[in-house]
Structure 1
Amino acid sequence: MWQAGHVIVQLFTLSVDPISVKMAALCMEESIYNLLPQITEKTFKAPRYVSAFKPYVKRTIEQSKAQWKTIGPPKVQVPSPQDFLQKHSKEPKLPERKPQRKKKLELTVPKRTDHPVMGVHSKKNFINSNAANVIMGVPKKPVPICVDRRQGDKFILEPSGLIPKYLKKKEYGLIPKYVTKRNEEVQRAQEEYDAYIKETLRQKAMKRLSDEERETLLEGLKKNWEEVHHAFQSLSVEIDTLPKKLHKEKLETQMKQLEHDIHTIEKHKIIYIANK
Structure 2
Amino acid sequence: MGPAKVELPPPEKYLKKHSKEPKLPDNTQCSQNLRKNCTCVAKKPEVPARTDKPPMGIRTNRNFIKTTECSVPKKPQPISVDSYKGHKQPLENSGLVPKYIKKKDFGEIPEYLRQRSEEERRAQEEYEDFVREQREQAAMKRLSDEERQAVLEGLKKNWDTLLHEYQGLSLVTDTLSKKARKQHLEEAMDELEKEIDLLQRFKTCFITDH
TM-score where L is the length of structure 2: 0.39
* Higher relative contact order structure (alpha carbons within 8 Å, sequence separation ≥ 6): 2
Q: In terms of Rg, which structure is larger?
A: 1
